[in-house]
Amino acid sequence: MSKLTLKDQYKFPLDLTGKRRANRVEGEVRYLMHGVKNRAAVLNHGAFYTDSIVVRDEQDGSKLTKGDDYIPILYYEEPSELSGKEVCTAIVITNEDISDTVRVDYNCVGGMYSLISSPLVDLIDDVLTDDRPVHWGDLLGKPEAFPPTPHIHELKNIFGFEHIVAELEQIRAAIVNQNLQNYEHRIQQIRRLAADQAKEDLVKELRQGRSRVMLISKIHEASSGG
């Protein structure tokens, strides 16, 4: 039994004319990524002649126009030079109105070019070695606004808390410098403020209590006929 070679495993023979009927693929269905502006599709049988491709929207059967609705990408240099025809290995649907499923007819190059590892490796190399700066305005799909995540702020950076921060800084400085007198002074000041507030609250409660007593007394007098 003869050994099966990789050449024997190619489904389509090598065709450098772009016209061989045996290399014609018809009705290949490609499912596109949903919700993406530019949706790419790599064809099942590798490199293809760009002048042979026909792309249709599976939803309504309409024929897509090259340049307006889709573009071939990943130019394959070697078979292009050998055949004298443009050869690519994928397409990008650029029209957002096209559905997420397309049907493709094309002539594949066949032979070793049924395997598209070479242009994919070249593409990865191009991406890895591309050191051009990326500008914010060129980014696609970025949201109009970014929801805030829980975070903290220093009290001194919040408007209206400057005087509180100043008092706290004075207390901290007194502790660090072991200035007991200044520290006690600040503490006493805070206590006086707290006491004054407590007195105000007590006066309010007494006034409210007196009003309630007077009201109860008047109701009692009215009910007793006095």
The torsion region of residue 15 among left (phi > 0), alpha (psi -120 to 50) and beta comes to: beta
Please determine, for residue 3, whether its predicted confidence score (pLDDT) is greater than 60. Answer: no
pLDDT the model gives residue 52: 96
Dist. CA 226–CA 220, nearest whole Å: 9
- Phi and psi at 150, nearest 5°, equal -55, 130
Buried b (16+ CB within 10 A) or exposed e, 65-78: eeeebbebbbebee
pLDDT the model gives residue 2: 42
Handedness of CA 215, 216, 219, 225 (dihedral sign): negative
Mean pLDDT of 133-139: 75
Dist. CA 70–CA 50, nearest whole Å: 12
Closest by CA to 48, choosing from 126, 7, 127, 104, is 104
Closest by CA to 120, choosing from 183, 58, 73, 188, is 73
pLDDT the model gives residue 33: 85
Residues 93-117 have pLDDT tens digits of 999 999 999 999 999 999 989 876 5
Residues 37-71 have pLDDT tens digits of 888 888 889 899 999 999 999 999 999 999 999 99
CA atoms within 13 A on the CB side of 184: 3
Supply the mean pLDDT for the chain: 77
Residues 157-209 have pLDDT tens digits of 666 656 666 666 766 676 666 656 665 666 676 666 556 666 666 556 656 65
Please determine, for residue 7, whether its predicted confidence score (pLDDT) is greater than 80. Answer: no
pLDDT the model gives residue 99: 94
State percent of the chain over pLDDT 70: 57
